[in-house]
């Protein structure tokens, strides 16, 4: 079977924080299928490249993508992030079987991103594009509901499906719920000693309020004068404008390490093994892949009781959830400090739960069966 995967954010050496969840899949698909090709649908011109053994065709126009499809003639096309040019010019024009993964922005109303409303003109442009996107995404759902068109959706969480249906105003008939796979071979569980509850890690992009780094900043300020604060260690890794407050207020402290930049997966695992708690607050997430990777490595994850997160973390069973107030986040840090045995319990149970839900073998087995079907039924 000849498979083409279209993804507009495929990782590269220059884009380490690209769609790693797509790359993890592709490396596994290569074990099952003889011909697998990735088309990185990118806007800036660049040469084709190979990333960790995966051949990637760099396509910077719809016409280029059409040409590739005609030349490669895939048996099935797999798409991550079905943007409206892809819907209009590819899915509606090429009579092929499609599996379409839905991750977030391509199926959500702009009203769910009001927390990012800081630059008026940029947000107005986003609203315009979003209205066009949802118009075509609704048409795509309607198209997929006719089984003869051989289009099937994969939603990474129940929340993602329900919100896409609500925002598009139409029910999806042909779909599966399959989370993004977590590479539990790389992010294998490591038993945490009680003392590791003092070591906190946050790896986040700082360019969007979606990742709630501002709430972590406020929470750290609240505990900064606690008697035990000097016993804690914070490692913060990220890039973007929102990290300036961290540098200004905490950069001089001996127990706070702030690094700007992006990390390869193996370096993320190395940091996992040196820490006990992962701070992964969010204002909106369809899954939270970096959160799940940290859980898999055995870190106790502190996240948010919103959107899809409760599908992956049960509070005080496999992690800790907050209602996104700095005061509550600070209280959770207090609780972790005071409860070493519960910290170790949550570390073990969190790793077991995420491997059960999203371990790489479980997810890939389900996806391979889906791909192998003659029709997406």
Find the CATH number of the domain harbouring 81: 3.40.50.2000
Q: What pLDDT, on the 0 to 100 scale, is given for residue 241? A: 64
What residue numbers bound the domain in which 139 lies?
A: 2-179+360-372
- How many H helices and E strands in the chain? 12, 14
Structure token digits, residue 133: 């996107």
Do 107 and 163 sit in the same domain of this protein? yes
For residue range 281-340, what is the model confidence (pLDDT) as tens digits? Answer: 999 999 999 999 999 999 999 999 999 999 999 999 999 999 999 999 999 999 999 999
DSSP secondary structure letters along 144-180:
HTSGGG-EEEEESSHHHHHHHHHHHTS---SEEE-PP
Q: Does residue 186 form part of some domain?
A: no
Beta bridge partners of 11: none
- Looking at the fold, whether 61 and 173 belong to one and the same domain comes out as yes
Same-domain check for residues 107 and 142 = yes
Cα torsion angle, 138, 141, 143, 145, sign: negative
Q: Strand, helix or coil at 129? A: helix
pLDDT reported for residue 377: 47
Report the DSSP pairing between strands 76-80 and 98-102. parallel
Residue 175 and residue 224 in one domain = no
Residue ranges, the chain, pLDDT below 50: 377
Helix extents (H) in 56-119? 62-72, 84-86
Q: Distance of CA 369 to CAs 34, 209, 355, Å?
A: 15, 37, 19
């Amino acid at each position: 079977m000849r498979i083409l995967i279209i993804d507009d954010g495929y990782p590269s050496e220059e884009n380490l924080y690209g769609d790693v969840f797509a790359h993890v899949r592709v490396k596994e698909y290569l074990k099952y299928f003889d011909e697998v090709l990735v088309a990185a649908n990118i806007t800036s011109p660049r040469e084709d490249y190979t990333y960790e053994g995966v051949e990637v065709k760099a396509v910077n126009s719809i016409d280029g993508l059409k040409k590739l499809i005609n030349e490669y003639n895939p048996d099935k096309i797999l798409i991550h992030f079905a943007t409206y040019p892809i819907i209009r010019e590819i899915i509606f024009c090429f009579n092929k079987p499609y599996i379409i993964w839905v991750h977030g922005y391509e199926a959500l109303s702009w009203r769910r991103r009001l927390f990012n409303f800081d630059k008026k003109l940029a947000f107005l442009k986003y609203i315009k594009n979003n209205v066009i996107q949802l118009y075509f995404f609704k048409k795509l759902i309607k198209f997929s509901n006719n089984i003869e068109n051989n289009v099937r959706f994969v939603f990474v969480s129940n929340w993602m499906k329900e919100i896409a249906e609500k925002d598009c105003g139409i029910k999806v008939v042909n779909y599966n719920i399959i989370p993004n796979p977590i590479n539990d071979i790389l992010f294998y569980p490591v038993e945490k000693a009680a003392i590791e509850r003092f070591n906190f890690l946050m790896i986040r992009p700082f360019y969007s309020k979606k990742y709630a780094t501002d709430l972590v900043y406020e929470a750290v300020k609240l505990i900064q004068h606690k008697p035990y604060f000097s016993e804690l260690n914070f490692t913060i890794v990220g890039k973007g404008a929102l990290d300036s407050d961290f540098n200004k207020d905490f950069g001089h402290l001996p127990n706070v390490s702030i690094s700007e930049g992006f990390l390869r997966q193996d370096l993320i695992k190395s940091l996992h093994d040196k820490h006990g708690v992962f701070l992964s607050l969010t204002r909106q997430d369809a899954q939270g892949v970096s959160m799940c990777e940290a859980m898999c490595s055995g870190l106790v994850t502190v996240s948010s009781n919103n959107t899809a997160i409760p599908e992956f973390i049960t509070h005080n069973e496999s992690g800790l959830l907050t209602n996104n107030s700095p005061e509550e986040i600070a209280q959770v840090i207090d609780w972790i400090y005071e409860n070493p045995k519960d910290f170790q319990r949550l570390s073990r149970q969190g790793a077991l739960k995420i491997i059960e839900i999203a371990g790489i073998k479980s997810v890939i087995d389900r996806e391979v069966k889906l791909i192998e079907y003659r029709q997406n039924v």
